[in-house]
Structure 1
Amino acid sequence: MRSIAIICCLLFMGKMTAQKIYGRLVDENQIPIEGAYIFNIQSESHAHTNELGTFRIKESQIGDTLRIGALGYSTILVPLQEKSYVDPLEIELEESALELGEVVVRPKTNALSVLSAIDLKVRPVGSSQEILQKVPGLVIGQHAGGGKAEQLFLRGFDIDHGTDIALAVDGMPVNMVSHAHGQGYSDLHFVIPETIDNIDFNKGPYTADKGNFATAGHVDFKTKEVLENNRVGFDYGEFGWNRGLGMFNLLKTKKDKAYVAGELLRFDGPFESSQNFSRVNLFGKYTKQLWNDAKLSMGVSYFTSKWDASGQIPERAVNSGRITRFGAIDDTEGGTTSRSSVTLKFQKPIGKQGFITSNAFFSRYDFDLFSNFTFFLVDRENGDQIVQRESRNLFGFNTVLNQNIEWGDIDLRLRAGVGLRTDMVQGNELSRTLNRGTVLQNIQLGDVRESNFNSFLEGRIEFGKYAIVPGIRLDHFRFGYLDNLRTDQEEGKVKKTRLSPKLNFLFDPTENLQLFLKTGIGFHSNDARVSVSQNGEDVLPAAYGVDLGSLFRINSKIFVNSALWYLHLDQEFVYVGDAGIVEPSGRSERYGLDMGLRYQISDRVFFDSDLTYTVARSKDEPRGINYIPLAPDFTASGGVTFYGRNKFSGGIRYRYLDDRPANEDNSIVAEGYFVVDANANYELSKGLTLGLSIQNLFNTDWNETQFATLSQLRNESQPTEEIHFTPGAPFTVRASLQYRF
């Protein structure tokens, strides 16, 4: 009767008046599909789904047809009937082969994330090293035995282990503030790569809901709610590589989903002194559909790792024949680390035009790292080995409200949120040691208490093909440090607040093109020990950024992104090798060009490439001695992925890092490299796949990480400053066998 009444009313008016249609998209497992595109063929109005899979499309009437598509799903046509005005549409999409023709850049504020969505569909993540390599333009380097967090390079930054990029997994921050090894230290090895479902990233300080460390950019990883299938696998390779993987669904119903995953890894490495690397990862996730479309999920993880390492070695020791490229000066380096975490997430719709998302997290973290950067420069008898260690409890929450508001022809989308993060660190230590056993001298030893309360408000005002996205963020920090080496000193405390405005402009002339101008202010916090000692001066240095760029689907096969950008930092962080820490330095500026290409050569062959050119300079030093150590000026990565007709698949990947200055006057140069990897897979039978991968296909001699360091060997009378490096992997073959059921 209700449907008849609506129709009669419309007929009485003489014509079918355009209405708003509400709906929800899910996949075959009833998981919401975010970022899907809904297009009314008759009125040419459009909409997209939010993270709950819901959408609202205007200017639609009975008899119209909606075209609905999403990346990796079959496009469907939905005719609007009279019941479409009464009840929200419930639509299920089927997965299909990837077609770049399905890419629509228009819907999302952060359309850059479509790049990682394409890459994940084409090349699912298969190793911890690949997790961050999914971010276009991000280059990584591993050193110290594989257990230490990767060194990161992005937009002319040597980010070290995370000083200028904000990382999170399921809403839990990964960056460690006031870490024993360096500010923003980010170890992602606790994530099992095959559990990753979505990667959201953006470059620059332009997003209001991202705060500390989000200067060069941010990356948010989201894990799967349910597994496509159960999986067991085993990898075996050269240099003692062994990896076992198991992933199993426990529940897979419309309202309840749960799975567990586990990873065991052993690796000796190509070094003459074995790395003895081992890692254990366990992860479980449960998702419950509640009343009124509310949803609750919980993730639990446990990670532990230990390793020995040859660490960084001086060029002169290799050139003189004292050691080989894979030798060691101090082979007693190494470390252990562990992380246990619990995350909770609650989502609930609020009417038809809004929803609220809340998450809470707790993590227990332990870290011990033994290093020797200078060998016998400081202590001629015992050597210069140091230990950096800490035990940390990290906990907090975030709550975000999303609400759509209509003002005539103007759509306003509001996002507002509050959050709290607290780090309680015991035994934050830097000490000189001997053979990883004897503490010779405590250099720093204390307890850190650091809290960050934040709130933000962001709006998206849409009118026609234009959108303005203003935002404002407020961060309040409390730094506390108790120096345990001084019995006469009470805990030092400092408070600091920073306001970070953002303003972005978007223009979408077609569903294939987006032009954008992004501006914003971000920041990276300083170490609590520095903040307290400086009495709150320059502890939240600002970063000022602007991007001018475009995303363009040229045709159904080619997708291109580009951006000209500029970033000014009030304070640079510089790695200090002899102390093994990161210290604050002066002002800096960076500007450059980002380019990316995704090309579907055929329905089974994909090509991708990302290039970044950057100029990075210190603003407080004279010309010629104003280089920023290890800041790359040109990086490139990409490759070809193919899916054969006879159960074959595989690909070839490359990465390139140009020569870059290793010190301020460019008198010491860190050599660049070009490395190619390859892989191939063959489906032996249904569900059973044999794989082969080759690292460093052309057996290139390359240095994965490099630093200009002043050091002295035992038999030397004078110290020398030169490149110290960790050698990259030689030609390495690995085989894998996986069974899905």
Structure 2
Amino acid sequence: MKLTLYVLLLVLMSFRAFAHLGSVSGTIIDQSTNQPLRGVSVQLTGLGKGTVTNELGQYRFVGLVAAPYKIEISHIGFKSLTVSVDLKDDQNVTLNMVLARSPIELSEIVVSSQQAHDQQLISSLDIKMRPITNSQEILRMVPGLFIGQHAGGGKAEQIFLRGFDIDHGTDIRLTVDGMPVNMVSHAHGQGYADLHFVIPELIEKVDFKKGPYNTEKGNFTTAGWADFRTRTTLDKSFAKLEVGQYNTYRAVAGLDLLGQRGRAKNQSAYLASEYSYSDSYFDHPQHFKRLNVVGKYHGHLSPNTNLTLTGSTFWSKWNHSGQIPDRAVTSGLTGFFGSVDPTEGGETSRTNVNAELVTVTPKNYTIKNQLFYSNYNFELYSNFTFFREDSINGDQIRQKERRNLFGYNGSISRTDFSGNTRFTTTAGLQYRQDLTRHTELSHTKNRVETLERRQFGNINELNAGVYLDELIQFSDHFSLNAGVRLDYFRNQYDDLIPPTSVPKRADAALVSPKFNLYYTANPRLQLYLNTGKSFHSNDTRVVVPQNGRDILPPAYGSDLGIIFKPFPKLLINAAGWYLWLQQEFVYVGDEGVVEPSGKSRRYGVDLSVRYQLTHHLYADLDLNTAKPRAIGVESGQNYLPLAPTFTSTGGLTFQNAGRWSGSLRYRYMGNRPANEDNSIVAQSYFVTDLQVNYTRTKYQFGLSVQNLLNTRWKETQFATESRLRGETAPVDEIHFTPGTPFFARLSWTFFW
């Protein structure tokens, strides 16, 4: 009996203690747009308690005893703010605050333990200091990522990252506002990722991570992932005109539809459009044309629910000169910017609808729902081998498809506190289905005549995934992230060439665990260990004939890294990494398919440095090394063709100095093997670019120069066996697309 009374007394005392605990909560708003700010760091000074704002810009501290508190708020690109509050017993204080934008000062940036797993210090700095000026710069915002254009301005770029020749997207997952960019089982190649439907001036941020370490990210994340986020609102309406060499013109405009009246109601809407034309620098004019139209609405259906609707359409058409062999230039058959088959080219279009709904419930659950749909069309004419197979008509091919892509992304998460330990639990569901009609590979002549239809069929590919993720912050110093996802694929191919067609199917599933550790010693030093498993799916046309074998080859990776601020104006991010793949992909250009190869491993070091030299001058440097090798192959025969082994980018950025701003940048890719025994080498290149702007309140003038030093370089290179007209036997050597020579453009932007 005495024991029972004692327990009751303790319970009553605990209720009495909790009855006097209070809370501090609120919302943080961007002063210029009146929109909530996500990912803002909010710290209770001296208590070791901190958090970051959620999707609606909200933060909350509970279980606070009566006392005076100091709240420190910081966000990259905004002026830091400190607020004091004297909390009474049982008091629940609401502090809604507005952050004003300000020039970036590296001394104000802290290495936070609150968002260690999602920390994007480098990305946030770069996009603030180096605004994107053209469509190619979109991908280059990821440190260490290189691109190459090898079939005119309308084709998706070839991508290189962490010792991968990713082709057009086999090993990096690209999304725009959460909507997938990579196309599975594409007519030109697995994972084909065309970002040209994005208007560069609308990019607000780039979230990225190298390696397979995020539970939310599924297919194609072996080398990493990047999510490009477009603006929810325009600061001002604008119109921009560009004119440049090689008969290049571009016009882009963005119109704020609701203005200040809409912002007062927490609503925004804009309409933007872009038109580009260029003959480019090749001997045979490209007649490149691109049209983009985007509309976006963002509004609050209630104080705790926001809705974002985006619609866009994109169309592009071009001619291109294709790849040319070294011997054609050496012999004088064609010039460095010439062509062997000038009838190559293509046409593509994509129309998107994207709806995102975010709700934060009274019990602090964050619920996200996203629905997306794309209608996509693609037609490309290429000639990789010239007259190797057909000495009379040539080897030109047509790759063509029509696609409907639709899907859903949903998640529910909640953050709880137990003492100083914070738990964030997230569960998610993802669904994607691709339906292609008349996916085709045909032998053609002069882009007019069809000589032979080699592949012709319909593809139905489904990918469903579920995941569970837990982020535990044990203290202000140590946090842990663990998660697991399950992906299921169902592949169906209907071959339309035989007289009677019977659709064939295959399916498979894969479990991918993740485990990540972070130790934040202080606001200047953080150590981390990332580990995880992921995959890149294989092409349906390869999977189905093999009855599902090798449909989901896994990849295992780890990063051991450091984020370090030895001085207030110096930020360093370095990592040693390792990646093992069960299966490589080899793209067979003349057959238009992706074929499975063998096992491989890669390891290397990534180094990123950001340094503020003066109040106006910033320097950045990225160094990336990799050693990629095939496993189970004789030494000396185990090189991975075109995989980069050393790359570097860097530059100086000048801003916050009145009316003038600009940047001077370089990029370097070292020599790399072009075939398995390294007997053919893809040559290195070093290219510099310049950007200068003069800005007033109502307008801006800009000068952009690509390849400032007019370096002659090869943007893409392949070891290809080809035969020119009149040759008796094929020759295996470097085939290349020439890189941009000195290319200057002037721009004028008007704001209102």
Which of the five TM-score ranges fits, normalised by the shorter chain?
over 0.9
How far off is 1:109 after superposition? 3.4
Is 1:463 the counterpart of 2:469 in the alignment? no
**Corresponding position of 1:712:** 723
- After superposition, what is the alpha-carbon deviation per residue over 1:596-631, rounded to whole angstroms, capped at 9, x for unaligned? 001111121111111110000000211000000000
Match of 2:296 in 1: 285
Tell me which of 529, 552, 565 is aligned to 2:541: 529
Residue 321 of structure 1 pairs with residue 332 of structure 2: yes
Matched letter for residue 322 of structure 2: G
Deviation at 1:92, TM superposition (A): 1.1
TM-score by length of 1: 0.96
Conserved in 2, the CA contact under 8 Å of 1:177 and 1:183?
A: yes
Aligned to 1:195: 202
From 215, 223, 227, the counterpart of 2:222: 215
CA deviations on 1:282-329 (whole Å, 9 max, x unpaired) are 001011211242011100000000000001000000011111110000
Instruction: Give the whole-Å Cα distance in 2 for the aligned partners of 1:52 and 1:255.
Output: 11
Question: 1:69: which partner in 2?
Answer: 74
Task: Map Cα deviations across residues 47-72 of structure 1 (whole Å, 9 max, x no partner).
Answer: 22223222234657542111111111
Alignment of 1:80 onto 2:80: no
- Where does 1:184-583 land on structure 2 (aligned, <5 Å)? 184-251=191-258, 252-253=262-263, 254-464=265-475, 465-583=477-595
Distance 2:624 2:61 in 1: 38
Closer, same or farther: CA 424–351 of 1 in aligned 2, 3 Å: same
Which whole-Å deviations, capped at 9, do the CAs of 1:320-362 have from their partners, x for residues lacking one? 1111110000000000000000000000002253211111000
The SS at the match of 1:351 is: coil
Contact between 1:177 and 1:184, CA under 8 Å: does it hold in 2?
Answer: yes
Distance 1:61 1:659 in 2: 65
Secondary structure of the 1:120 match is helix
- 1:159 aligned partner: 166
SS for the counterpart of 1:110 is helix
Q: Counterpart in 1 of 2:41?
A: 37
Instruction: Give the superposition deviation at 1:87.
Output: 4.2
Partner of 2:109: 103
Change (3 A) 1:466 1:42: closer
Partner residue, 2:604? 592
Q: Does 1:653 align with 2:665?
A: yes
Deviation digits for residues 377-418 of structure 1 (CA, Å, limit 9, x no counterpart): 001110000000000000001111111123344321101100
In structure 1, what residue type is equivalent to 2:143? P
1:86 partner letter: N
Q: 1:95 to 1:621 in 2, by over 3 A?
A: same
Matched, 1:168 2:179: no
The range that moved more, 519-528 or 641-650, is: 641-650
Could you list the per-position Cα deviations for residues 691-733 of structure 1 after superposition, in whole angstroms to 9, with x for gaps in the alignment? 1111111111100011000000001111100000000011111
Q: What are the Cα deviations for residues 417-472 of structure 1, in whole angstroms up to 9, with x where unaligned? A: 00110000001111100111111011111000000111000001111121111100
**Which amino acid is the alignment partner of residue 608 of structure 2?**
G
Whichever residue aligns with residue 400 of structure 1, its letter is S
Distance 2:645 2:740 in 1: 23
Question: Structure 1: how far apart are the matches of 2:266 and 2:303?
Answer: 12
Q: Distance in 2 between matches of 1:119 and 1:613?
A: 21
Q: CA deviation at 1:580?
A: 4.2
Distance 1:60 1:183, change over 3 A: farther
Q: Does the 8 Å contact 1:397/1:419 carry over to 2?
A: yes
Q: Is the 8 A contact 1:103 1:553 kept in 2?
A: no
DSSP 3-state at the match of 1:269: coil
CA contact (8 A) 1:577 1:709 kept: no
Preserved CA contact (<8 Å) 2:398 2:444:
yes
RMSD: 1.8
Partner SS for 1:226? coil
Q: 2:150 aligns with which of 143, 152, 171?
A: 143
Alignment of 1:110-125 (within 5 A): 110-125=117-132
Residue type of the alignment partner of 1:227: L
Query: May I ask how many residue pairs the two structures share in their alignment?
Result: 730
**CA distance 1:324–1:21, shift in 2 (3 Å):** same
SS at match of 2:676: coil
State how far apart, in whole Å, the 1-side matches of 2:376 and 2:673 are. 35
- Percent pairwise identity: 46
Structure 1 contact 589–616 (Cα < 8 Å) conserved: yes
Q: Which moved more, 1:536-545 or 1:505-514?
A: 505-514
Partner of 1:53: 57
Amino acid at match of 2:70: T
1:561, 1:466 → 2: CA distance?
18
Q: Could you tell me how far 1:46 is from its partner in structure 2? A: 2.0
Measure, in 1, the Cα distance between the counterparts of 2:428 and 2:241. 43
Gaps of 5+ in 2: 1-12
Asked if the contact 1:21–1:60 (Cα under 8 Å) also holds between the matched residues in 2, the reply is: no
Residue of structure 2 in register with 1:3 after alignment: none
Native 8 Å contact 2:688 2:707 kept in 1: yes
Letter in 2 for 1:95: R
Q: Does the 8 Å contact 1:688/1:738 carry over to 2?
A: yes
Q: 1:66 to 1:535 in 2, by over 3 A?
A: same
Kindly indicate whether residue 673 of structure 2 is the aligned counterpart of residue 667 of structure 1. no
Amino acid at match of 2:653: T
1:181/1:388 contact within 8 Å kept: yes
Q: Does 1:694 align with 2:705?
A: yes
Output the TM-score relative to the length of structure 2: 0.95
Cα distance 1:82–1:731, how it changes in 2: closer, same or farther (>3 A)?
A: same
Structure 1: how far apart are the matches of 2:229 and 2:65? 34
Q: String of CA shifts for 1:219-238, please: whole Å, max 9, x gaps.
A: 01111110011110101000
Q: Distance in 2 between matches of 1:503 and 1:219?
A: 20
Decide which of 617, 621, 629 is 1:605's aligned counterpart: 617
Q: Is the deviation greater in 53-62 or in 63-72?
A: 53-62
Tell me, in whole angstroms, the C-alpha distance in 2 between the residues paired with 1:47 and 1:644: 30
Q: Deviations over 1:88-121 (max 9, x none)?
A: 3211111111111232332213355221111111
In structure 2, do the counterparts of structure 1 residues 482 and 556 end up closer, same or farther at CA, with 3 Å as the change threshold? same
Give a deviation string over 1:132-164, Cα, whole Å, max 9, x none: 111111111112111000110100001000000
Is 1:89 the counterpart of 2:95? The answer is: yes
Opposite residue 506 of structure 2, the aligned amino acid is V
Tell me the distance in 2 between the aligned counterparts of 1:51 and 1:663. Answer: 47
Looking at structure 1, the residues matched to 365 and 109 of structure 2 have their Cα atoms a distance apart, in angstroms, of 25
d(CA) in 2 for partners of 1:183 and 1:105?
38
Give the distance between the partners of 1:295 and 1:234, measured in 2 at CA: 34
In structure 2, distance between residues paired with 1:112 and 1:662: 36
Gaps of 5+ in 1: 1-9
Question: How far apart are the structure 2 equivalents of 1:111 and 1:410?
Answer: 18
Instruction: Spell out, residue by residue over 1:234-282, the C-alpha distance to the aligned partner (whole angstroms, 9 max, x if none).
Output: 0100011100010010013233210011000001011110011000000
What secondary structure sits across from 2:410 in the alignment?
strand
User: Do the aligned partners of 2:689 and 2:708 also contact (CA within 8 Å) in 1?
Assistant: yes
Find the residue that maps to 1:436 and give its secondary structure: coil
CA distance in 2, matches of 1:710, 1:558: 49
Secondary structure of the residue aligned to 1:532 is helix
